[in-house]
């Protein structure tokens, strides 16, 4: 069992702050066997307000321990999103192996006074593995040139030129900066006007290489709000090249890392070597501040490992839940060689009565099917595939509490990219969320839900004749 609790929507295997408001995960860094998760945090309210960096740590990315607040607002402003690095070579001179946070300071006074220069970049360092922090005296390290949205610095070490690269969201494009000491930065280039989705402001970027069959491919993540594929805020990405100065995209097509409504502001951990671990905020700016939780608001997504696939001459990111999820022990039920006509009720055989589980399913040449999760209160969530449109979907129209926002109820769809006719799905269901990883993560969808009671009934529905399910594996995660 994970940290058990009686709050109806408090997740079991996702991180939530004990109280207060959380949005973006930020500053994630791996150090000395510990995964650090910092996050946009307002300790004094369950809606957005003066931002701090909250802090949590984990050894496996699944069991989290919340620590005291890491960064507090100061005279330069509140603490918006950013990143953290381990300064292995002591380039900044703060000390060897200093953990350095690079973040936006948002100054509401300046904003009120009509200035456009209310977001500036600052740094802070910790010499005790993130326990206590000192803000750099020379802050801000990048002054705003007069762009209202100028934020969310993601810094990484670019080894070939022995310098730091900062990827910064600047309104409707990305600006790259470089530095040798984390204190002095020079502008290198820009990217993005005319590329990708521009339904809203660009925020929370990330830049890193992945390898595909021995070849290095650069990935640029750009979160955008609004303008997502199913409304509101969402994470898009580009693949291309980066030469230490400039990012060039392979194509102009918009690609989405997660098609569901509830993954936003996702970026990756730093200092994890070749492995790229991603985590998002499991909500959407359309309704995040009115969801029906009481003492806190928002959770993070399941952490995901990213890799590249190549389909139809383009690179696509595949997201898989981190291995620690698969390693969790829990009562498991495996059913094989099922043939479904109409509906097959798995409730009695599977006994997932708390509605918190992992489901792995393999369907052979399906025309359509849905995994229907429900309860005695009439709540229902359907996660399915429709071959005629070649889409996956999550339908939360009747998922329980939905009336808190007109933008919440709905059936959300995502394209299928995989070409084979066997479908492998992985579903992670927590108390208040459903995450779908189809085709080994080539299509990913995240949806939050607020059922009146646990979704303790499981059915597989289909309209086709003799739907062949090779295997269903269910594992309790409560
Ligand atoms: C994204 C975002 C960031 C900003 C932070 C403020 O959700 O708007 O751009 O730094 O939230 O909390």
Helix (H) or strand (E) holding 19: none
| Ligand 1 centroid – CA 24 distance (Å) | 7
Contact, 14 vs 282, CB < 8 A? Answer: yes
5: in domain: no
Taking CA atoms only, the protein residue closest to ligand 1 atom 6 is 80
User: What's the total number of domains in the chain?
Assistant: 2
Question: What value, to the nearest 5°, has the Cα angle with vertex 302 and ends 298 and 303?
Answer: 120
Domain that holds residue 462: 329-476
Is the domain of 99 the same as that of 219? yes
Is the domain of 459 the same as that of 358? yes
The ligand 1 atom nearest the CA atom of 82: 10
Structure tokens at 292: 């029906």
Q: Which of 323, 347, 370 is the last residue of a domain?
A: 323
| Ligand 1 centroid – CA 244 distance (Å) | 26
CB 51 near ligand 1, within 6 Å: yes
Q: Which of 301, 323, 345 is the last residue of a domain?
A: 323
Structure tokens at 370: 């849905």
Contact, 224 vs 284, CB < 8 A? Answer: no
Distance CA 436, CA 384 (A): 10
CB 80 near ligand 1, within 6 Å: yes
- Cβ contacts of 390 within 8 Å, gap of 6 or more: 415, 416
Structure tokens at 22: 């959380």
| Ligand 1 centroid – CA 73 distance (Å) | 15
CB 203 near ligand 1, within 6 Å: yes
Q: Which of 323, 341, 375 is the last residue of a domain?
A: 323
pLDDT digits (tens, 9 = 90+) for 380-399: 999 999 999 999 999 999 99
The ligand 1 atom nearest the CA atom of 81: 10
180: in domain: yes
Is the domain of 297 the same as that of 154? yes
Is the domain of 352 the same as that of 272? no
4: in domain: no
Is the domain of 150 the same as that of 272? yes
The ligand 1 atom nearest the CA atom of 48: 12
The ligand 1 atom nearest the CA atom of 203: 9
Structure tokens at 385: 């595939």
81: in domain: yes
Strand order in the sheet with 78-87: 78-87, 98-106, 119-126, 134-135
The pLDDT value given to residue 396: 98
| Ligand 1 centroid – CA 285 distance (Å) | 10
96 — phi, psi (to 5°)? -75, 140
Is the domain of 305 the same as that of 273? yes
The burial class, CB within 10 Å (0-12 / 13-18 / 19+), for 213 is exposed
The pLDDT value given to residue 2: 42
CB 206 near ligand 1, within 6 Å: no
**In degrees to the nearest 10, what's the CA dihedral of 185, 189, 195, 201?**
30
Strand order in the sheet with 314-321: 264-268, 277-281, 304-311, 314-321
Distance CA 326, CA 346 (A): 21
- Cβ contacts of 189 within 8 Å, gap of 6 or more: 175, 176, 245, 246, 247
Structure tokens at 140: 């801000």
The pLDDT value given to residue 80: 99
Distance CA 162, CA 430 (A): 43
Distance CA 86, CA 458 (A): 46
| Ligand 1 centroid – CA 51 distance (Å) | 9
422: in domain: yes
| Ligand 1 centroid – CA 26 distance (Å) | 10
Is the domain of 256 the same as that of 405? no
ipTM summary value: 0.99
Q: Given the structure tokens 């998922």, which residue do they identify?
A: 399
Contact, 21 vs 41, CB < 8 A? Answer: yes
Residue ranges for the chain with pLDDT beneath 70 = 1-5
254 — phi, psi (to 5°)? -85, 125
The pLDDT value given to residue 410: 98
Is the domain of 344 the same as that of 268? no
CATH number at residue 439: 2.60.120.560
Distance CA 405, CA 396 (A): 13
226: in domain: yes
Distance CA 151, CA 171 (A): 8
Mutate to test the pocket of ligand 1, among 152, 170, 202, 298 (most ligand atoms within 8 A of CB): 152
Is the domain of 312 the same as that of 349? no
11: in domain: no
The pLDDT value given to residue 1: 33
Is the domain of 92 the same as that of 169? yes
Structure tokens at 144: 């705003």
Is the domain of 243 the same as that of 373? no
pLDDT digits (tens, 9 = 90+) for 216-266: 999 999 999 999 999 999 999 999 999 999 999 998 889 999 999 999 999
Give yes or no: 181 in active site: no
10: in domain: no
Distance CA 302, CA 248 (A): 30
CB 265 near ligand 1, within 6 Å: yes
Mutate to test the pocket of ligand 1, among 21, 25, 151 (most ligand atoms within 8 A of CB): 151
pLDDT digits (tens, 9 = 90+) for 395-447: 999 999 999 999 999 999 999 999 999 999 999 999 999 999 999 999 999 99
User: Which of 12, 10, 11, 9 lies closest to 1, judged by CA?
Assistant: 12
Q: Given the structure tokens 């981190």, which residue do they identify?
A: 322
CATH number at residue 259: 2.115.10.20
- Cβ contacts of 16 within 8 Å, gap of 6 or more: 10, 22, 296, 298, 299, 300
Is the domain of 402 the same as that of 287? no
């Amino acid at each position: 069992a994970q940290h058990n609790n009686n709050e109806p929507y408090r997740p079991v295997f996702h991180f939530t702050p004990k109280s207060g408001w959380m949005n973006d995960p930020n500053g994630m860094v791996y150090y000395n066997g510990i995964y650090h998760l910092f996050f946009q945090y307002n300790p004094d309210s369950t809606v957005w307000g003066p931002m701090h960096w909250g802090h949590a740590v984990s050894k496996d990315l699944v069991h989290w321990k919340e620590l005291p607040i890491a960064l507090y607002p100061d005279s330069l402003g509140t603490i918006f999103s950013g990143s953290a690095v381990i300064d292995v070579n002591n380039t900044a001179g703060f000390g060897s192996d200093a953990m350095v946070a690079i973040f936006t300071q948002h100054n509401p006074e300046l904003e009120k006074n009509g200035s456009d220069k209310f977001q500036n970049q600052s740094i802070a360092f910790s010499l005790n593995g993130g326990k206590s922090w000192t803000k750099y005296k020379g802050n801000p390290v990048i002054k705003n040139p007069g762009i209202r949205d100028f934020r969310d610095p993601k810094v990484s070490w670019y080894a070939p030129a022995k310098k730091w690269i900062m990827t910064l969201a600047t309104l409707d494009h990305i600006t790259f900066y470089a530095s040798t000491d984390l204190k002095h930065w020079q502008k290198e280039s820009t990217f993005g006007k005319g590329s990708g989705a521009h339904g809203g402001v660009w925020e929370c970027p990330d830049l890193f290489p992945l390898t595909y069959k021995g070849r290095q491919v650069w990935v640029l993540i750009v979160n955008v709000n609004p303008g997502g594929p199913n409304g509101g805020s969402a994470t898009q990405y580009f693949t291309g090249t980066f030469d230490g100065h400039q990012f060039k995209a392979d194509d102009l097509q918009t690609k989405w890392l997660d098609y569901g409504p509830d993954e936003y502001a996702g970026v990756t951990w730093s200092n994890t070597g070749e492995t790229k671990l991603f985590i998002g905020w499991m909500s959407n700016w359309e309704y995040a501040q009115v969801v029906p939780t009481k003492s806190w608001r928002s959770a993070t997504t399941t952490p995901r490992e990213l890799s590249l696939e190549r389909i139809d001459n383009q690179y696509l990111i595949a997201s898989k839940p981190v291995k620690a999820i698969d390693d969790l022990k829990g009562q498991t039920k495996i059913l094989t060689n099922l043939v479904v006509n109409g509906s097959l009720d798995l409730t009695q055989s599977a006994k997932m009565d708390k509605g918190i589980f992992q489901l792995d399913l393999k369907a052979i040449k399906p025309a359509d099917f849905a995994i229907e999760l429900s309860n005695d209160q009439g709540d229902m969530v359907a996660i399915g595939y429709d071959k005629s449109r070649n889409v996956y979907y999550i339908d939360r129209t009747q998922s329980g509490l939905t009336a808190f926002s007109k933008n919440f109820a709905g059936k959300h769809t995502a394209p299928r990219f995989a070409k084979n006719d066997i479908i492998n799905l992985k579903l992670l269901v927590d108390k208040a969320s459903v995450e779908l990883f189809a085709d080994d993560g080539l299509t990913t969808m995240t949806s939050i839900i607020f059922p009146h009671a646990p979704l303790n009934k499981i059915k597989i529905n289909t309209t086709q004749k003799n739907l062949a399910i090779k295997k269903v594996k269910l594992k309790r995660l409560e």
